[in-house]
Amino acid sequence: MAGTTITDNGEKQRTLLGADELILNMGPQHPSTHGVLRVKLKLDGERVIGSECMIGYLHRGVEKIAEHRSYQQFAPYVDRMDYVAAVSNGLGYCEAIEKLLVVEAPPRAKVIRTILTELQRIASHLLWLGTHALDIGALTPIFYCFREREEILKIFEKYCGARLTTHAFRIGGLQYEAYDTLEKDVERFCKAFEPRVAEYEELLTQNRIWLGRTKGVGILKAADAIALGATGPVLRASGVKWDIRKAMPYAAYDQYKFEIPTGKTGDTYDRYLVRMEEMRQSRLICLQAIENIPTGPIMAKVGKVLKPPPGEVYHSIEAPKGELGYYVISDGTVQPYRVRIRPPSFVNLESFDSIVKGHLVADVVAIIGTLDIVLGEVDR
């Protein structure tokens, strides 16, 4: 019937000009769905009146694979979930298994882990900034962001030989000793990074078009954010001061001073500001950490074959995108009985449907970008 459409819950909804609704399939092949997300949009003209996320195009059964690998063997697999923040994934997994084994990584390992993880946070946020700006139509920031990200990846490469899926940590500590100039490299990067962030902000923060495209777009209220289980910058931009690095410190985060940036309105602009500030804070953490890296062993005493006692453990860390949790059940054998992963991207994507309603098609890409999802992690 022209002029009215039936929404999912059966109520009739009038379109503006009395026209039929238009169903637009965005993805899985689309320049700005950040991988293989497929969104089915119901449009009235260009206004979104309904949306449905269809995921699973990148499902690889990571959790199931875990049940057929030994604890060490599974570690490289987690790098392939959030492939733009592989180091953080590895940290969460290694610490979860350490908790299960009741061992603790030596202090030196903890500090080096912290440095690498914070660098990874900066790299992840840089990638987010570049692609987000590209989605909104600013062509240039992504190349500047990649320039800096490259420096970080070079540090990773020097440390463990890999750039993207690093597998940098081992259960119980580190496999590799820090290379000689690690501190110097990190310091040089941090020194150069400060003015660079200012450069990005100069391009975007006060730009009228950028403000128009991000302010008031995709507002997620604090109560909704909590109800939907959003974490990370998405939650903090709504004004909730919740960061697992402070709330339940892991690695060496309790030793360092840093702020938790929060937003007020929870719109796309606030999420942008929060992530920009987080990059600065991560830089400060790195600078504090390289000042005093303790000496000593880098590996705790764990056996060649890991056989954790039967039991279960949940451990979560603050990954760049939010709370990354590992729930591991051991039955006393060399393989985990079950590994359940709580990916931040997947949970944050839940809020997409509710915040996209009423916006225009152009805002859909802005909102997908601002949620900072990685489909490898959403689909696992």
Partner 1 sequence: MQAVIQATIDFLKAYWAPLLCGVIIVAVLPLIAGYIVLVERKIMADMQARLGPMRVGPHGLLQPIADAVKLLIKEDIIPESADKLVFWLAPVLSVGAALLSLAGLAIGPAFQVAKGINIGILFVVGVSAMGIFGIVLGGWASNSHYSLIGALRSSAQLVSYETAAGMALVCGLLFAGTLNVTSIVEAQYNQGMWFGLLAPVAFFTYLVASIAETNRAPFDLPEAESELVAGYMTEYSGFRWALYFLGEYTNMIVVASVATTLFLGGWLRPFPRTHWLNFLDFFPALSMIAVGAYCVMRAPKQPVRVQQLFMLAVAGLCFVLALVLAGPLLLPALKPSLAVAVKPFQDGILGSFWFLLKVSAYIYLFMWLRFTLPRYRFDQLMRLGWHFLIPLSIINVLLIGIAMIVGSYLHMEGGWLIFATIPASVIALIIALFILAAEQKHQPQRAGGASDSYAG
What does the binding site for partner 1 look like in residue numbers (CB under 8 A)? Answer: 16-17, 22-25, 30-32, 45-47, 133-140, 143-144, 147, 203-204, 207, 209-210, 212-213, 215-217, 219, 267, 358-365
Bridge partners, 289 (sequence order): none
Q: Given the complex with partner 1, which of 18 and 311 has the nearer CB atom?
A: 18
- What span, in angstroms and rounded, lies between the C-alpha atoms of 278 and 260? 8
Q: Given the complex with partner 1, which of 146 and 337 has the nearer CB atom?
A: 146
- Tell me the closest approach of the beta carbon of residue 26 to partner 1, in angstroms: 9
Helix axes 361-371, 107-136, angle to 10 degrees: 170
What is the CB neighbour count within 10 angstroms for residue 64? 11
DSSP assignment string, 266-277:
-SHHHHHHHHHH
CB 294 within 8 A of CB 107: yes
- Tell me the closest approach of the beta carbon of residue 221 to partner 1, in angstroms: 12
Angle subtended at Cα 217 by Cα 235 and Cα 6, rounded to the nearest 5 degrees = 100
Q: Given the complex with partner 1, which of 33 and 88 has the nearer CB atom?
A: 33
CA 160 vs CA 169, 170, 182, 289, 301: distances in Å: 9, 12, 12, 19, 21
Q: Given the complex with partner 1, which of 45 and 76 has the nearer CB atom?
A: 45
Instruction: Single out the residue of 302, 290, 312, 294 nearest to residue 104, CA to CA.
Output: 302
Name the helix (H) or strand (E) containing 214: helix 208-214
- Tell me the closest approach of the beta carbon of residue 132 to partner 1, in angstroms: 10
Residue type, 350: E
- Tell me the closest approach of the beta carbon of residue 207 to partner 1, in angstroms: 7
Q: Given the complex with partner 1, which of 56 and 137 has the nearer CB atom?
A: 137
- Tell me the closest approach of the beta carbon of residue 378 to partner 1, in angstroms: 19
CB 93 within 8 A of CB 319: no
Q: Given the complex with partner 1, which of 82 and 267 has the nearer CB atom?
A: 267
- Tell me the closest approach of the beta carbon of residue 149 to partner 1, in angstroms: 13
- What span, in angstroms and rounded, lies between the C-alpha atoms of 262 and 219? 14
Q: Given the complex with partner 1, which of 32 and 70 has the nearer CB atom?
A: 32
- Tell me the closest approach of the beta carbon of residue 193 to partner 1, in angstroms: 15
